[in-house]
Structure 1
Amino acid sequence: MDALTSPTWFIDSESPEVATFVERTLNRKDAALGPVADDPTERAVALFLAVRDGIRYDPYDVSREPGDYRASAIAGGSPNWCVPKAVLLTAAARHVGIPARLGFADVRNHLTSEKLSDTMGTDLFAWHGYSELLLGERWFKVSSAFNIELCRKVGTKVLDFDGTDDALMHPYDEAGHRHMEYVEQRGSYDDLPLDAIFADFDELYGDFGSGSPAGDDVFG
């Protein structure tokens, strides 16, 4: 269990940048809300919301530089895609003593545009990343990928987390159309398997996977 609360090279949960992100989140200045309580679930929910909405989802600027995938780099708040956002949430949780790890799955996006599907040669999006948080005796799978403004704009259901159930991609959008289908679980990881992710992107998507947009551009 120590490994799930300790920093790694990517999940550098004790870095000053992650500490500042967590402090700003938990000591919010909104007088109506007040600071977040010490309860692990309340802290997890607050950190989830801070990552979900504080970092706008953007799959069109995908770096190949490992340093850009450290939580300390992601905490600055620039738009990013699902994997970096999961790294930051996992690091923030570890910073406050919540055991956390990374989870990955391949998903099929039934709302992918025809243009994107033709370009990629598939509607299968590999290595969708999310966080796994241990609260009490239960592991929760929590995707912080899509900020609330984006969901409202495109008509997909908001990914929400209240500490009582998982927060994963919805199978249907607000209009009842099929949206996300989880095809294959890739397992849980104590640190980010970045080399494996990009190796699979290169194999699955060719030149498309070597640049932008990211392999999990779900609104292309």
Structure 2
Amino acid sequence: MEQYLRPTEFFDFEHPLVQSFALETTAGMHDPVAMATALYLRSRDDFRYDPYSFSTHPSTFRASHVMESGASYCIPKAVLLGAAARAVGIPSRLGLADVMNHISEPRFVEKLRSQVFAMHGYIELFLEGKWVKATPAFNAALCHKMQVDVLDFNGREDSIFQPYDASGRHFMQYLKEYGHFADVPHAFIITNLQAAYPHLKDLLESGQWISRD
């Protein structure tokens, strides 16, 4: 379990900003489940979900980068939650999967040329003797805008993307799981993104990403 508790290049909870985030959020708490749920809520809502913020540069995958930028996408937001959990003694590991997004922003889907979001990131936390999944990607304000129920986490059951939106339409499906990782497998992620979106290969190789325009 030690590998899921120590600081790493990406789970950099020794960074002052991540330390403060973890300790201030869990101040006065002793129950790991309560600490995990408090960290989840702040990771979800204090940092805006922004898929256009993606960069291939390794530094942008770090928990500290999310703290500095105030907005990010699924992988770094999951890493922030995982790093903060490790800072208070809760083991964590990153999970990766391909997901189908049925109601994502049309402009973004058009740029991806696919409704499949490759390399979606979530976090697994070891609580009460078992691993539970948490997905802090979509902040509450964005969920309300998309007419999707806000995804909660109770620390005892897996919490991944809602299968339906508020109107009963399919929202998110997990298509392929890649397993779990003690740290961010940066090269693996970039390689799989290049394979999933061959028209973006040159951009990814140059360290760029699709623009908002």
TM score, norm. by length of structure 1: 0.87
2:209 equivalent among 198, 212, 215 = 212
Post-superposition CA distance 1:154-182 (Å, at most 9, x none): 10121100122111001100000011011
- Residue in 1 that maps onto 2:7: 7
Kindly indicate whether the alpha-carbon contact (under 8 Å) linking 1:4 and 1:101 is maintained by their aligned counterparts in 2.
yes
Within 2, Cα distance between the matches of 1:114 and 1:150? 15
| Aligned-partner SS, 1:51 | helix
Kindly indicate whether the alpha-carbon contact (under 8 Å) linking 2:127 and 2:156 is maintained by their aligned counterparts in 1.
no
Within 1, Cα distance between the matches of 2:148 and 2:200? 25
| Aligned-partner SS, 1:50 | helix
TM score, norm. by length of structure 2: 0.90
1:170 equivalent among 162, 166, 182 = 162
Within 2, Cα distance between the matches of 1:131 and 1:44? 11
Q: Kindly indicate which of the two structures has a greater share of residues assigned to helix.
A: 2
- Residue in 2 that maps onto 1:23: 23
* Partner amino acid, structure 1, of 2:63: A
Report the alpha carbon displacement of residue 150 of structure 1 after superposing the two structures with TM. 0.4
- Residue in 2 that maps onto 1:140: 132
Within 2, Cα distance between the matches of 1:22 and 1:44? 10
Kindly indicate whether the alpha-carbon contact (under 8 Å) linking 1:61 and 1:213 is maintained by their aligned counterparts in 2.
no
Unpaired runs of at least 5, structure 2: none
| Aligned-partner SS, 1:60 | helix
Kindly indicate whether the alpha-carbon contact (under 8 Å) linking 2:152 and 2:159 is maintained by their aligned counterparts in 1.
yes
- Residue in 1 that maps onto 2:99: 107
Identical residues among aligned pairs (%): 41
Q: Aligned pair in 2 of structure 1 residues 213, 44: CA closer, same or farther (>3 Å)?
A: farther
Q: How does 1:1-220 map onto structure 2 within 5 Å?
A: 1-27=1-27, 35=28, 37-76=29-68, 78-112=70-104, 115-208=107-200, 210=204, 211-213=208-210
Within 1, Cα distance between the matches of 2:111 and 2:197? 9
Kindly indicate whether the alpha-carbon contact (under 8 Å) linking 2:11 and 2:63 is maintained by their aligned counterparts in 1.
yes
Within 2, Cα distance between the matches of 1:125 and 1:147? 18
Within 1, Cα distance between the matches of 2:86 and 2:122? 15
Report the alpha carbon displacement of residue 122 of structure 1 after superposing the two structures with TM. 2.2
Segment of structure 1 superposing worse, 67-76 or 40-49: 67-76
| Aligned-partner SS, 2:53 | coil
Kindly indicate whether the alpha-carbon contact (under 8 Å) linking 2:23 and 2:88 is maintained by their aligned counterparts in 1.
no
How many pairs were matched up?
206
Post-superposition CA distance 1:64-85 (Å, at most 9, x none): 2211222222223511000000
Kindly indicate whether the alpha-carbon contact (under 8 Å) linking 1:100 and 1:132 is maintained by their aligned counterparts in 2.
yes
Within 1, Cα distance between the matches of 2:105 and 2:89? 41
